[in-house]
Structure 1
Amino acid sequence: MEKRHRELIVSNRVKLVREMFTDRIVSKMRGGLLNESDIEDITSEESAREKAEALLSILPRKGPKAFVAFVKALQEVQGYLSEPFLEEAGLPDIKEVDYFNDDAVVEMTENTCVKNLPANVHSRLCVLLNEDNVFGDNWERVYRDVGLPIDRIDKVRCQSNPTDCTLTLWHGRMGSKASLGSLISILRDIPRTDVVEMLEKAMHACNIKA
């Protein structure tokens, strides 16, 4: 991999490690750039963050075609993450609507209930908020800020998808008032601008599709 490509990945590494769907990226690159040994090294890691770190550590050793192959896979799986790399990779830009699969693009406004989000948006939201971090600005902060009972947070913490559980409890408590607009307002205050950006792009994509 060329030096300028390595440097571009390094400059975007924090966002990639935090948000990248590594398993799906690896699946796209399997049998080509990545061999079975590489895949085993990546998938043997326990957390999503560790898998992403493993992939990004392997890529620079994979020769001059590694950068374009990675960006193509990233563009197919998570278009918005590929944007900083498209020009260097010689790939065309993508439309906002391409951030999401056609079957996931449904009506989505600030009044949309958090339990009625498109499947891909809901999945991405959970990935971003389920991740533990030193700042404590993950699902637990959302849980507290929407006013859910603190004595139940330990039970939610034990769930495989605490963000989904939080949204379900919030909807059960507040009904239609547990809206996307309210969630975005909370996320801005935390602040989790990365999640706000993702949700706003999703709304824009749905408006284009409509």
Structure 2
Amino acid sequence: MIMDPLHKEILRKHRLNLSNQILIDDTIVQFLYQENILTDSQVEEIQAQQSNKKKTFRLLDILPTRGPRAFDTFLKSLEEEFTWVKDKLLQDLEQQNVLAQSPTNDKLNIPEATLQAVPSDRHFSQLASQLGAEWESLLLDLGLSAGELYRCRADHPLNMHGQVLAGLVRWRQTQGRRATVHRLIQSLQASDIHPSTLNEVFQ
């Protein structure tokens, strides 16, 4: 059995924040091992990483492969020392459940043909102008790796618009015809960016 796709999405969306906010060395990893979420070899693999950030990234890579109990057990592991992190994840999960129950297109005035189209550079530039710090969460949800995000930042230092635009173009290059406006909307929702942002871009 696999992890609930919504739980997987929450972990992916909060990947960067989690790597900065939690320390996984002792309580978290040992609790997950105790609850049979992690195996001996997985614990060793996580602990072998050189920094807490890398250990957290490795844990977040492993968790979605550990079945339907993994997400809830991970939340329990946060109860003692990282309650505020757990509360944030639960709050986001509740918001995503509400979004999932309301049709996306009801909030949008974008024609179906446009939703299925691949965005142009002009569209990407307009969208990049409207995004703030949440752009990294958006691009991670679209499937870019942490390494690709790093290259976007390195290639365009002190220029957030350039960083976002480079990431969106990279997503279109890797996904081809699957890089649709509709797919963008799904990731905007997953990143807490209201999809109506796209109304202005695609009018």
TM-score, with length taken from structure 2: 0.42
TM-score (norm 1): 0.40
